[in-house]
Structure 1
């Protein structure tokens, strides 16, 4: 495996693509707006104007796009990946998307002599830059093993989760955990502020105890600085939580915390905060503190 096609070069994807190049892979890239990936071109990536041209001679195709509808757009149809990749190509969707779409890609890939994996990631923008992402892989185990060196270019906690769709289901479970954690962090900070505690001292005191978490380490300092720049967009987290809620409903599960956190984030999105990072959930509680409707 030498040549990789990469589609989806946003906050996460661009850093992941850069790390793939650093490991010596040749890189084809496609983006709707060429100027946004000019830095990757300068570093050696080859830009293509269309998806068919980008993927036709690749040994593996990696996608990490925004929404399930974007996954369907780049994979299916006359100009999609499945129609234009050569036989034997590995097609790896690293978007957080629908398990059902992952299963559909897997079925159609097999019909065309392709190898499909769903491999969503967690670790945020910092993990993408550092090449320390957790990668959650579903599909045939032999395909996972074949792609392991490629995954190792982007992450350091790489696990095989099971058949097609299992990677996506694992990521949705991860997002359910994160939803509760971020909400708990924001509620704790709101409580501490109301009680007159020094918030930095609070964080220093609990960070290494039972309340410690990656979310606390990453997001709490940003909250204290009023830094709401996105490491992960609210709009994308809402998409993930909606996917999880839909899958839970299909299993007749009641996930009350997930539903409440989703509702709170949707309130913020309606207020114009959908382009903020997930740490901006604190704004919901600040409205509560001032007595404004939320």
Structure 2
């Protein structure tokens, strides 16, 4: 059976690798970006350029988006020149941006009225997971039509779970970000402590990452901190956006999140000092600065 044609919007740090993996899996790929040059390598590899969101939506069976902010999601989906106004009846739309659960539900409701199957499916795994087609994908939407998008998701990820109705994927991603936020404080403090104690941090990692302290952030981002590599696998500015969504959602449900709020406060300070376009592991530099201030 011929594979569906996929339209892809959002070729950033993670999106470009995700789009490339879809092509490797045999899907025809339409792409649109605000700046065509950002998609030049994908076009050279066989992707087809579409000159607008509307054109891409009309020419695709499955439309996947992974953009920056909820405002970007709203723009590409809900305006007159957006996806839902132009996608074919019976097509699928998958927003893989980390965005608002309420916005995911609004997109689902409008898509259903147009005969379009909508899913929110944010991801975790960073640049490495995207490159290796090993992302964790947390989906929300109708179980009835989920098989229609599963082959595309399997081309990008390994751990794929339909969490529930529309918005459930975004709520699950909020759980993920809440756990990461406080955990990043611990990773930074552990490595900084090791250095100040005169230990070799990478040797310390060999011990603690295999025990109860082990985590993805410790094993993957801890090494980058030690090496002084603060290039983005996931931007500080986007993590701050995620934490704000999580805090707002938590407050709406009267859920206390003091660890999350502290993490956001420190990341805000890092961003204000010029770190917004660095990777989330750059929080380590906050501890270096604070130590020097003392």
Same fold (TM over 0.5): yes
Partner residue in 1 for 2:65 = 63
Partner residue in 2 for 1:122 = 124
Q: Shift in Å at residue 197 of structure 1?
A: 2.0
Number of equivalences: 292
Secondary structure of 1:83 counterpart: coil
Partner residue in 1 for 2:190 = 188
Partner residue in 1 for 2:47 = 45
- How far, CA to CA, are the matches of 2:45 and 2:241 in structure 1? 32
Q: Identify which range, 239-248 or 140-149, moves more after superposition.
A: 140-149
Q: Shift in Å at residue 254 of structure 1?
A: 1.4
- How far, CA to CA, are the matches of 2:194 and 2:15 in structure 1? 37
- How far, CA to CA, are the matches of 1:49 and 1:94 in structure 2? 21
Contact 1:117–1:143, Cα closer than 8 Å, also in 2? no
Partner residue in 1 for 2:35 = 33
Q: Shift in Å at residue 198 of structure 1?
A: 2.0
- How far, CA to CA, are the matches of 2:203 and 2:56 in structure 1? 51
Partner residue in 1 for 2:133 = 131
Alignment deviations for residues 77-134 of structure 1 (CA, whole Å, 9 cap, x no partner): 1110000001001010000000000000000000111000000000100000100001
Secondary structure of 2:14 counterpart: helix
Partner residue in 2 for 1:24 = 26
Partner residue in 2 for 1:286 = 288
1:245 to 244, 247, 250: 247
Partner residue in 2 for 1:264 = 266
Partner residue in 1 for 2:75 = 73
- How far, CA to CA, are the matches of 1:132 and 1:195 in structure 2? 36
Q: Shift in Å at residue 192 of structure 1?
A: 2.0
- How far, CA to CA, are the matches of 2:16 and 2:144 in structure 1? 27
- How far, CA to CA, are the matches of 2:151 and 2:18 in structure 1? 14
> Which structure 2 residues correspond to residues 197-276 of structure 1 after superposition, within 5 A?
197-276=199-278
Partner residue in 2 for 1:171 = 173
- How far, CA to CA, are the matches of 1:81 and 1:95 in structure 2? 15
For structure 2, the residue ranges without an aligned partner over 5 or more in a row are none
1:2 to 1, 4, 12: 4
Alignment deviations for residues 44-90 of structure 1 (CA, whole Å, 9 cap, x no partner): 10001111111102111000000000000000111100000010010
For structure 1, the residue ranges without an aligned partner over 5 or more in a row are none
Q: Shift in Å at residue 195 of structure 1?
A: 2.2
Q: Identify which range, 190-199 or 105-114, moves more after superposition.
A: 190-199
RMSD, aligned α-carbons? 0.9
- How far, CA to CA, are the matches of 2:17 and 2:200 in structure 1? 36
Secondary structure of 1:288 counterpart: helix
